[in-house]
Amino acid sequence: MNKIEEKQITGIAALLIHAAKIDEIYSDKEKKIILNFIKKYFDDNSMSQKIMGDAEKLEKNSNQLLNYTKIIKDSPLETKSDVIEQLWKILISDNKVDLYESNLMRRICGLIYFSDKECGEIKMRLIKSK
């Protein structure tokens, strides 16, 4: 996994939180998925908790999807794939994906130049592994 700075992880985590909240239910299961994503980059538990708190504040104070996707757009394909995977984990964690969630994924993939085909493959792999 590529080294990503705290500020970048905070922005990506804010996008994950935004995705989690799109169905108006921000569950503990979704929070755990996001925290586990952060911990992949920052092993230190107190640092991970700090980033999570910062990301929640950032998401609450911003309604601009572009702010979050700029960080990902310039990242390597491996990072993009990881972010898309985390987004799908969040969206399918409640065993249903509504139109708003599907629309969000299409918009994000377009903004970060990630193919719909690869996005769909990640989604199907995660659904099958549930």
| Between 116 and 2, residue with greater pLDDT | 116
| Beta carbons within 8 Å of 105's beta carbon, 6+ residues apart | 84, 87, 88, 91, 119, 123
The predicted pLDDT at position 1 comes to 42
Domains of the chain in sequence order: 6-129 (1.10.3680.10)
Arithmetic mean of pLDDT, 76-80: 92
Sign of the CA dihedral with 116 first, then 40, 129, and 18 last: negative
Joined tokens for residue 26:
């921000």
Arithmetic mean of pLDDT, 79-100: 94
What does the pLDDT look like over 55-77, one tens digit per residue?
999 999 887 777 889 889 988 99
Mean pLDDT computed over every residue of the chain: 92
What does the pLDDT look like over 1-48, one tens digit per residue?
446 788 899 999 999 999 999 999 999 999 999 999 999 988 888 999
